[in-house]
Chains A and B, each alone.
Chain A
Amino acid sequence: MRLNKIILSFVSALVILFSTSVASFAKVVGDKIILGAAISLTGKYSSNGVHTQNGYNMAVDRINSMGGVKVGGKTYKFDIIYYDDESNPKRAAQLAERLISQDGVEFMLGPYSSGLTKAIAPVTEKYGVPMVEANGASRSLFTKGYKYLFAVLAPANLYLDVAIDLAVEKNNGKPVTVAMAFEQDAFSQDVRLGVLDAIKRTGSKKVIDDKLPKELNDMAATLVKVKQMKPDVLVVSGHTKGALTAIRQISEMKVDVPMLAMTHCDAAKLSKQHGKNSQYALCASQWHKTLTYKDNFFKDGMTYDADFTKEFGYAPPYQAAESSAALLVFKDAFERANSFDQKKVRDALAATNMQTFYGNIKFAEGGQNVDKPMVLFQVMCDDAGKCENKVVAPTKWASAKLIHPIPSWSKR
């Protein structure tokens, strides 16, 4: 059997290939602290993946140029190894393994979306690698008893429950009817649970509860039902594509609804892409540039907005802002731990209590940020068709008054 020889030589070639490709980085090389991150550069989350990456890069450049991180009397600079997780949880989990066991990364930044964070968290937890994540908001991330997971954002169930309260308030405290359409993914389903809680709390009634597919580009069936049932509130969540699809089809089908509450309006650049069609949409946001939080690196929201726009050519959605904040948290923790020991850094992270331009950050037992409320903004346009997002709730931050109910399409 000569065939055997072929196979044998093939196997030995493989051995050589594998053994030469073992290249190892260490977590701290020279004056560099190397962080690892799996980011969705391709696939369904690619636009938000890029926002996340831009947010990280912006903060890395800023911290490095402003003196870096001081640990043990020495100054270090941040560096990030990126991989593309292709918006796929399976890939993300593999990449986390790869970053930790092959590239030797000892500190991680989170990916984009709750699903991918859910896939990565068991791996970082197993290896005791502290991970500060900025884009995994699903509540179930924080009930698994993870000790090395820290999220700078508020959990997903808090995104839109405020909108229901607002609708009830506008209805003179009487219960409202709610139509819901949520994408079938970890994040959106968690937003749904928050809305369900609010419905129960206020004694409201859900009249439509639809699930939208992951490749979200059509929700006409739901909207036809909305036209028939005439609910008081329509709630839609499905990342960037969900927001875009909703606005496109609502305006095409001229669906009249007194209140439209969504997520990801700023990431989808709704006010830019759909202009007046997106007017009056109410959006949940982790951050808005007009909030008055401050720090030494980015100064405040307005400055961050201006700097980011200058560097990347578009206004930063909250996904970018929270990603930048993750780096600030890491820097702060390294300096307080004054060490690169993973356990010490983890403990320092757990004790974080700081203000950044993005908001206050303080972690609860489960790792979620409990010190930063969500805000709701509404897309508002002037007569020239120039649209802007203005915060309408909570009252503390509001820069405009909520327009309610939304005028019908025939009067717009």
Chain B
Amino acid sequence: MKNNLILYIGILIFGIAAPFIFPAFKVQLSILCVLIVLATTWNIQGGEMGYNSFGNILFYGLGMYLCASVQVGMFFPLAEWTESGGEKTFVHTPVQFFQGMAVGLIVAAVVPTIVAGLIGYSILGLRGHYFAICTLGLGVAAGEISGGIEIIGAGQGFTTPPFPDVGSLDSRGEFFYFLSFFVLVLTFVTVRSIYTTRFKLILNAIRDNEDKAEAMGIETMKYKIIGWMISAFFCGLAGGIMGGLVGYIDSTDVAFDGREMGVFMVLMAILGGKGTLWGPIIGATVFHIFKEGFWTFFLGWQYVALGVLIVVIVIYFPEGIMGWLREKYPERFGEVVDEKDRKAQVELK
């Protein structure tokens, strides 16, 4: 327990100091925080509950559009802001920007949560491949639909409010880094605390045998929906931040980016080891570093390199990095190996 505390404080200090140690990497670090949030929340479905969701991108995109729309709509007419070729120029004052962002983020978190509850009620009855394909369709549909809504820019895209002129040149990066780091900490604390309760056991029971869990009197539907709502809450927040960070929202390439973000969050969780607390975090970090590296050193071939990495992961680390470590050093994970018993079994053969 004491060790744990030291670890957490260490990571917290590292997290706070990071933008000052690596000032040039603030944006990458912010994106890393967002990626970890996405992977960790995906793990609630994919890892703990056994429901491979490709639909979490829906909440991410929804959060992104909502946050930006609220941030603009609170102070200016949204339709004129997004109107292509609009003649007027609107500029947020610093107060307006931060106020708008704060309210926007709240909306970006709450609305996707409600949406998750509503659609979860209707589609969480599907299982296995059917659920995966259905959620995949959700993300694609959302992208196409949002690309046709004029008030949020439709195919023109939506330029989010530029960061106001406060502080130095670095303040934008610092603001978004600390915002995303805060959301990351919030996500981690929440997820960690629910993983210590009966809730996690129920999710695992659903994963291992849903019918049996139901037969034991667990209202599986209720827990599945709650699990998805928790994911949606944080995905929405992550989306809201990412929208401000990128500065430009495009329906299929930035917001409902199922092809990249939607797949990446699954990949990262699997790479790190799904069904573990630390797996998605490690997975996201490793993935992000590799991706950035490939991008620099294999220009034009980065996706090939990424593909090779995925193949290597699937072949050599099917259980992810955490799973591999656990198999290699079980005692470090608090699992007691009775050496005598093990040897005895080996000798029996």
* A interface list, Cβ under 8 A from B: 1-8, 10-11, 14-15, 17-19, 22, 24, 41-42, 82-84, 87-90, 93-94, 97-98, 101-102, 115, 118-119, 122-123, 125-127, 138-140, 143-145, 157, 182-186, 188-190, 193, 211, 213-214
Chain A facing B: main interface SS: helix
Once bound together, how far apart are the Cα atoms of A119 and B156, in whole Å?
Answer: 12
Q: Are A184 and B251 in contact (CB under 8 A)?
A: yes
Q: Are A4 and B86 in contact (CB under 8 A)?
A: no
Q: Are B26 and A123 in contact (CB under 8 A)?
A: no
B139 within 8 A of partner (CB): no
A183 surroundings in chain B (CB, below 8 A): 155
Q: Are A127 and B169 in contact (CB under 8 A)?
A: yes
Chain B 124-155: CB-based contact to A (< 8 A → 1; otherwise 0): 00000000000000000000100110000011
Q: Are A2 and B329 in contact (CB under 8 A)?
A: yes
B16 surroundings in chain A (CB, below 8 A): none
B163 surroundings in chain A (CB, below 8 A): 126
Most A C-beta atoms less than 10 A away, residue of B87, B257, B332: B332
Once bound together, how far apart are the Cα atoms of A213 and B85, in whole Å?
Answer: 22
Instruction: Knowing A101-B24, A139-B84, A185-B155 are in contact, say whether A93-B7 is a contact too (CB < 8 A).
Output: no
Q: Are B84 and A190 in contact (CB under 8 A)?
A: yes
Q: Which residue of A lies closest to B82 (CB)?
A: A140
17 A–B contacts, CB within 8 A, in A order: A1-B334, A6-B332, A15-B21, A41-B299, A89-B254, A101-B26, A119-B250, A122-B159, A122-B162, A126-B162, A126-B163, A143-B89, A185-B155, A185-B250, A186-B155, A186-B157, A211-B155
Chain B 20-31: CB-based contact to A (< 8 A → 1; otherwise 0): 011111111001
Chain B facing A: main interface SS: helix
Question: Which of A19, A119, A138, A143 has a CB less than 8 Å from the CB of B247?
Answer: A119
A11 surroundings in chain B (CB, below 8 A): 10-11, 14
Instruction: Knowing A83-B299, A126-B172 are in contact, say whether A1-B325 is a contact too (CB < 8 A).
Output: no
Instruction: Knowing A102-B24, A190-B84 are in contact, say whether A14-B250 is a contact too (CB < 8 A).
Output: no
Q: How many residues of B contact A (CB 8 A)?
A: 63
Q: Are B86 and A14 in contact (CB under 8 A)?
A: no
Q: Are A118 and B155 in contact (CB under 8 A)?
A: no
A82 surroundings in chain B (CB, below 8 A): 299
B148 surroundings in chain A (CB, below 8 A): 184, 211
Q: Are B10 and A93 in contact (CB under 8 A)?
A: no
Q: Are B24 and A115 in contact (CB under 8 A)?
A: no
B178 surroundings in chain A (CB, below 8 A): none
Can you name 10 extra interface pairs (CB under 8 A) apart from A118-B159, A186-B157? A3-B332, A4-B7, A22-B22, A83-B295, A90-B242, A119-B246, A143-B88, A145-B89, A189-B156, A193-B84
A143 surroundings in chain B (CB, below 8 A): 85-89
Q: Are B4 and A1 in contact (CB under 8 A)?
A: yes
Instruction: Knowing A42-B300, A93-B247, A184-B148 are in contact, say whether A18-B159 is a contact too (CB < 8 A).
Output: no
Once bound together, how far apart are the Cα atoms of A11 and B179, in whole Å?
Answer: 21
B317 within 8 A of partner (CB): no
B302 within 8 A of partner (CB): yes
Q: Which residue of B lies closest to A116 (CB)?
A: B248
Instruction: Knowing A88-B253, A89-B253, A118-B159 are in contact, say whether A7-B278 is a contact too (CB < 8 A).
Output: yes
Most B C-beta atoms less than 10 A away, residue of A10, A22, A90: A90
Once bound together, how far apart are the Cα atoms of A189 and B148, in whole Å?
Answer: 11
Once bound together, how far apart are the Cα atoms of A122 and B24, in whole Å?
Answer: 18
Q: Which residue of A lies closest to B252 (CB)?
A: A214
Q: Are A3 and B162 in contact (CB under 8 A)?
A: no
Q: Are A22 and B24 in contact (CB under 8 A)?
A: yes
B303 within 8 A of partner (CB): yes
B341 within 8 A of partner (CB): no
B14 surroundings in chain A (CB, below 8 A): 11, 15
Q: Are B3 and A98 in contact (CB under 8 A)?
A: no
Minimum Cβ distance to chain B for residue A126 (Å): 6
